[in-house]
């Protein structure tokens, strides 16, 4: 599946991560624009994005998720969703079963984009596929790199550069491929955010060498709590999409 065990973190993932983000209006506008009725979400996790998507765009939604514990946490929310256990690249659905497909923060877990995107094209009758990810510029400019130097090294290797994603989409048969960066308003790093880091709320923190993580966290706590440093952070996401 990936180098990270989502089964182990399902409970805390749901505590610390919520769906949505600066890309969300564009994501739902794309679904609205192609009149999406049958939607596939790949790597739906605990359904955080699923809840918001259904509210914004009511539809028949299938949520695919490889981790049994993430899926169970999602199913427990009682959403009107068909949950299916499975992992990209294989999509266990008939040709043309959907008219919209999306995946938020999943592409970096898929080693080879080609076979996965071909599967996406196969299960889409017509309509649109959209992927939420982050750019290399965001990874290299992340404010937490100052505390955890390996953060950017790990993520730059995991997250495919946006031009690579776009080229793979075109090669898989998508047309009018486009991408858009979006940012949330700046926020000041506070105790709540630091506790999320301490709880490895993003998989990258769990992939850091243990001593680097401990030292970086201690330094961050000192800066914020002892020195009163105000660290401003902007969340940025990139949405990449294409049509069939």
Closest approach, Cβ 218 to ligand SAM, in A, equals 26
At 186, give phi and psi (nearest 5°): -60, 145
Count of CB atoms situated within 10 Å of the CB of 40: 26
Closest approach, Cβ 223 to ligand SAM, in A, equals 27
* Residue bearing tokens 């993430």: 70
Interatomic CA distance for residues 107 and 198, integer angstroms: 25
Nearer to ligand SAM, 18 or 215 (CB): 18
Nearer to ligand SAM, 22 or 66 (CB): 66
Q: Name the closest residue to ligand SAM (Cβ).
A: 45
Closest approach, Cβ 108 to ligand SAM, in A, equals 8
Indicate the pairing of strand 124-133 with strand 236-243: antiparallel
Nearer to ligand SAM, 108 or 221 (CB): 108
List residues near ligand SAM by CB under 6 A.
1-2, 6, 17, 19, 42-45, 48-49, 65-67, 70, 87-88, 104-106, 109-110
Between helix 210-221 and helix 191-198 the angle, nearest 10°, is 170
Closest approach, Cβ 203 to ligand SAM, in A, equals 6
Residues in the chain: 244
Nearer to ligand SAM, 5 or 180 (CB): 5
Torsion of CA 32, 133, 141, 166, to 10 degrees: -90
């Amino acid at each position: 599946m990936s180098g990270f065990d989502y089964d182990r973190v399902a409970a805390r993932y749901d505590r610390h991560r919520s769906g949505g983000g600066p890309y969300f209006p564009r994501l739902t506008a794309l679904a609205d624009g192609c009149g999406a009725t049958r939607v596939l979400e790949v790597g739906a996790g605990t359904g955080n994005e699923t809840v918001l998507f259904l509210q914004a765009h009511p539809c028949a939604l299938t949520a695919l998720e490889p981790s049994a514990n993430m899926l169970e946490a999602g199913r427990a929310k009682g959403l009107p969703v068909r949950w299916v256990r499975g992992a990209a690249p294989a999509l266990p659905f008939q040709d043309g079963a959907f008219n919209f497909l999306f995946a938020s923060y999943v592409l970096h877990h898929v080693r080879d984009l080609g076979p996965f995107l071909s599967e996406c094209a196969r299960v889409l009758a017509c309509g649109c596929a959209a992927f939420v990810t982050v750019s290399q510029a965001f990874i290299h400019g992340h404010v937490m790199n100052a505390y955890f130097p390996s953060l950017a090294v790990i993520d730059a290797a995991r997250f495919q550069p946006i031009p690579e994603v776009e080229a793979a989409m075109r090669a898989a048969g998508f047309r009018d491929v486009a991408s858009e960066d979006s940012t949330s308003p700046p926020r000041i790093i506070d105790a709540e955010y630091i506790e999320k880091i301490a709880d490895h709320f993003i998989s990258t923190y769990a992939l850091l060498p243990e001593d680097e993580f401990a030292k970086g966290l201690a330094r961050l706590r000192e800066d914020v709590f002892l020195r009163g440093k105000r660290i401003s952070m902007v969340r940025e996401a990139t949405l990449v999409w294409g049509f069939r």
